Amino acid sequence: MGLSGSGTWSVTYNLFDSSTISTPNSSPANSYNGYFSTGQMLGGANNVTVTTADYQTGVQGRWYYPNSGANNLFYLVNAGSTPVGNTGLFHYTVRTDHTKDTGNVDIGYHYVAIMRTARSTRTAMGFRIIWRIGMEMERLIQGSPIGQFRSTIPAG
């Protein structure tokens, strides 16, 4: 991350996985970030270090978090300080079952939550199940405050 210009930078709710963080001029304001195999930025508060980066593969990628655990990526769920509705990520998820985020914002990269619904219809041949997959995209990924940066994706 290079810092330049006269603006004020703040680094919040990111997961740094096996990254090298360099802040040559000064460390920006930072808090509520996750770290795996990466040194923390100076001056940060309420950061979380995980010891196991146990990503799960799902329909949209391979960077989902597990649904339970301790000291693993699940530790980043609800680890932020802001209610998810205030961040614009209420239609997003970090889970493979695509349960929308609730409570406080999860730290790290989010996918758009895909909602699966099933309904039965009666036809001349009997009942059949119709699966409808609806993507709720109130905000495009590139327009979300966290979706613009893929800081959870390790190099390589």
In angstroms, rounded to a whole number, what is the distance separating the alpha carbons of residues 115 and 95?
A: 12
Domain residue extents for the chain? 10-143
In angstroms, rounded to a whole number, what is the distance separating the alpha carbons of residues 129 and 10?
A: 48
17 has a pLDDT exceeding 70? yes
Q: Calculate mean pLDDT across residues 5-23.
A: 84
Give the ranges where the chain is alpha helix by DSSP (H): none
Find where tokens 């985020």 sit. 101
Give the whole-number percent of the chain exceeding pLDDT 70: 69
Q: Calculate mean pLDDT across residues 7-11.
A: 81
Question: Which has the higher per-residue pLDDT, 41 or 118?
Answer: 41
What pLDDT is attached to residue 128? 38
Eight-state DSSP code of residue 95? B
31 has a pLDDT exceeding 70? yes
20 has a pLDDT exceeding 50? yes
The set of residues, in sequence order, having a beta carbon less than 8 Å from that of 150 and lying 6+ positions away, is 109
Work out the number of other CB atoms within 10 angstroms of the CB of residue 118: 8
Summarised one tens digit per residue, pLDDT across range 78-95 is: 999 999 999 999 899 999
In whole numbers, what is the pLDDT of the chain averaged over residues? 76
Q: Calculate mean pLDDT across residues 24-49.
A: 88
Contact present, 50 and 71 (Cβ < 8 Å): yes
Give the whole-number percent of the chain exceeding pLDDT 90: 44
